[in-house]
Amino acid sequence: MPLPLPSGGDKLMGNASISPKGKKTPVAKKKKSKARRVAGKIGRALLTVFLIFVITCTLVGGAVAFYIINFVTPQNINLDSANLDSTTFVYATNSKNETVEVAQISGEQNRVWVSLKDMPENLKNAFVCTEDQRFYEHNGVDWKRTISSFGNLFFHFYETRQGGSTITQQLVNNLTAAGKNSSDYGRKIQEIVNALDLEKRYGKEQILEAYLNTINLNEGCYGVQTAARNYFNKDVKDLDLAECAALACLPKAPSTYDPRYHPEKNTERRVNVVLKNMYKQKKITKEQYEQAINEKLNIAPKKTVSTRGWFEDMVITDVQKDLQTKYGWTADYALNTIYTKGLKIYTTMNTDVQSAMDKIYQDTTNTKYWKQYQGAVQPESAMIIMDYNGNILGVEGGRGKKSGNLIYNRAVDARAARQPGSAIKPLGVYAPAIELNKINWSSLIPCSKITTPDGKLWPKNDDDSNYTGSMTVVRALAKSVNTVAVHIEKDYLSPEYTFDFLKNKLGFTSLVERKVVGNKVYSDKTLSIAIGALTQGVTVKELAGGYQIFGNNGLYYKPHSYTKVLDSKGNVLLENKIKPIQAIGADTAFIMNKLLQSNVTHPEGTGRAAKISGLVVGGKTGTTNDHKDRWFAGITPDYVGVVWFGYDQPKDLGYKGTNPALVVWRSVFQLLPKHKKDFPKNGDVIQERYDPATGYITSTGTEVGWYKVNGYLPTAPVDPELS
């Protein structure tokens, strides 16, 4: 029998009840009231956050406005003179110390000014639709893009950072140094002020014309006319829609979207960005759009341009970097200044030295070193010659005829760093140990291998011999015995000491303190540093810079390619006043000098082939265990010279004869002008006879060595019973 319903006819369902008329019970009202309270709290919290954001933006905006009004003045850019560029001149000296002009720099930045009326509408629209859609509406600054870009720094509306620069702002960056870098808000404000001022004084058409004639379009093309000639062999007025769109791809990243070298990336941006924007903004019809996206560009063959020498390219790069560092300029603006602002660059080049190097390096038919290897690919080489004050006198970044401007330079480019092998030993092992009075000329050092933590015997000597007994320092250096160098490093120095010495005293920049790649840890603070097995190697320039200390009383001067740079009015923009570092004492430097000479004169010396009649020569070979790299670092009374020899893609040279780097070095040095007959004697040192069997100084010694007067003099102990 069913139970009677409660009074009022309600049906119970859990904790909720509904009246026959559909009205909620007090329980449901309580839930709704609680939800309203929670929603109210959330709303008030969001309102508070919003008000804080508004107040913060107001305060920041007010501060920025106050800063702009009181401290930032426009630079009064003159568009009428924007197309008046000047040639930069490069000077060097010859062996008579005469200043001579060696280059004029202007051709790399090729610019021909054309009127806006001579440019097709599609070209103008392509750039505007891609770079600045509201160009004709704003007053120089697109505040919507600027605020959006600023907000994205904090709230990440977009997946990538959004640029806020208008065409007017980009023009400002092309003509001034206002665009130091995107993180410098002071410079950004200056850019904005300049853009606003520019739009007050010039019309949109004048601004657009200047922009399209100054924009960097890669391959040395600045402006649309030279770019049209370069890529399509046409005048700009004759470009079709697809070609106009191809050029409009370039401002975002000129080298990345180069239609000659990266056609796929140019096509992708041309179709998906430039042409699509033009179609969406109704600047082209659907038929024009479809025809343009299916057009295959006909890129003109690359024209042969005048190729500068290795030295001129090196000094351009050095000046560009130093202008960026000193003035905070962008790389593009610094390079633009070099090419167009009529600078005078006084280099450290010695024209006679450079000519001698060119003669050897450009003669690829010489079978002594260029044609003795099997296979179609011949090895490469690089060389630096400098004096003992850090002045680079000549450079070769590769063998044969140089193929272009600002190309890969194996002598100075960080990517060209290679393991120096035994060429590092005088710098990282022998010189520091003699400086600390831990070893001397005739110290006897064990020749045995050491046992590594994993139980292996290491290292291997190049001739796979001399693993027993001991050997004098002079003989071990001459024979380039790896085991002796490692024993000195382990017993008298430390990898940490050598690491710091090379980095802080000799300017080595590529040393790795600790780097993890995958599950493997790399570090140059190991015993391998003693034999040049470095993680990232060294450059030819760094090694040459280190070896200068052996001919100038132990002073290290940072290697440099120019002395000063003047602007078109004669004002000094840059000047290299290098302050030397006392890397080692004069006595240590003199003894090391004599040890390096012994490496050339010693009957077992690896540098014997460097002998040049009538010239005092010292030096050290370098050979890596895998025979992928060969080096020779040599010194004469006038010069320091370092040669690297190997393949760009490292592999065994497969050659066991005379070190080819040494052969190249000797061939060049035979042609160099010579001024000094010998190194001067420096430091408090003495010459003594010693017994090579004991290492002791004795009047009956059969060999002669050099020792520090205030250092450790290895004399035989006196027997107490005989004293």
Model pLDDT for residues 490-531, shown as the tens digit of each residue: 999 999 999 999 999 999 999 999 999 988 999 999 999 999
Give 153-174 as a 3 state SS string: HHHCCCCCCCCCCCHHHHHHHH
CB 90 within 8 A of CB 105: yes
Sign of the Cα torsion 321, 327, 328, 329 reads negative
DSSP 674-691: ---SSPPP-SSEEEEEE-
The two three-digit tokens of residue 437, written as one number: 């009075």
What average pLDDT score do residues 372-401 get? 92
CB atoms within 10 A of CB 181: 12
The whole-number pLDDT of residue 18 equals 46
- The model carries a pTM of 0.72
User: Which residues have CB under 8 Å from 7's CB, separation 6+?
Assistant: none
% of the chain residues with pLDDT over 90? 62
The two three-digit tokens of residue 177, written as one number: 């140094």
Does pLDDT of 588 surpass 80?
A: yes
Q: Which residues are catalytic?
A: 131, 422
The whole-number pLDDT of residue 596 equals 98
Range with the poorest average pLDDT among 136-140, 155-159, 534-538, 562-566: 155-159
The whole-number pLDDT of residue 464 equals 74
> In Å, what is the CA distance from 447 to each residue of 118, 457, 723?
79, 12, 34
CB 480 within 8 A of CB 422: yes
The whole-number pLDDT of residue 111 equals 67
461-492 burial, b if ≥16 CB within 10 A, otherwise e?
bbeeebeeebbbbbbbbbbbbbbbbbbbbeeb
What's the pLDDT tens digit per position in 192-226?
Answer: 888 899 999 999 999 999 999 988 898 878 899 98
Range with the poorest average pLDDT among 364-368, 428-432, 564-568, 637-641: 364-368
Find which of 68-77, 166-175, 196-205, 330-339 is predicted with most confidence, using mean pLDDT.
196-205
Does pLDDT of 311 surpass 70?
A: yes
Residue type, 244: C
Between CA 568 and CA 402 the distance in angstroms is: 30
Does pLDDT of 178 surpass 80?
A: no
What's the pLDDT tens digit per position in 455-489?
Answer: 999 999 887 777 899 999 999 999 999 999 999 99
CB 485 within 8 A of CB 523: no
The whole-number pLDDT of residue 333 equals 83
The whole-number pLDDT of residue 64 equals 58
Nearest to 640, CA basis, from 353, 315, 213: 353
Residue 229 or residue 62, greater confidence: 229
Does pLDDT of 152 surpass 80?
A: no
86 phi, psi to nearest 5 deg: -125, 150
What's the pLDDT tens digit per position in 94-135?
Answer: 988 999 999 988 744 566 789 999 999 999 999 999 999 999
The whole-number pLDDT of residue 17 equals 44
Whether the upstream peptide bond of residue 379 has omega within 30° of 0, thus cis, is no
The whole-number pLDDT of residue 405 equals 87
pLDDT band at 306 (very low <50, low <70, confident <90, very high): confident
Mean pLDDT of the chain: 87
The two three-digit tokens of residue 129, written as one number: 């639709």
Reading phi first (left if > 0) and then psi (alpha if -120 to 50, else beta), residue 31 is in alpha
Does pLDDT of 149 surpass 60?
A: no
The whole-number pLDDT of residue 582 equals 98
CA–chain centroid gap for 640, Å, is 23
What average pLDDT score do residues 386-406 get? 94
Residue 706 or residue 48, greater confidence: 706
Residue 723 or residue 53, greater confidence: 53
679-702 burial, b if ≥16 CB within 10 A, otherwise e?
beebbebeebebbbeebbbeeebe
The whole-number pLDDT of residue 448 equals 95
What average pLDDT score do residues 581-602 get? 98
pLDDT band at 636 (very low <50, low <70, confident <90, very high): very high
The whole-number pLDDT of residue 39 equals 73
Between CA 460 and CA 450 the distance in angstroms is: 10
The whole-number pLDDT of residue 686 equals 96
pLDDT band at 50 (very low <50, low <70, confident <90, very high): confident
The whole-number pLDDT of residue 67 equals 60
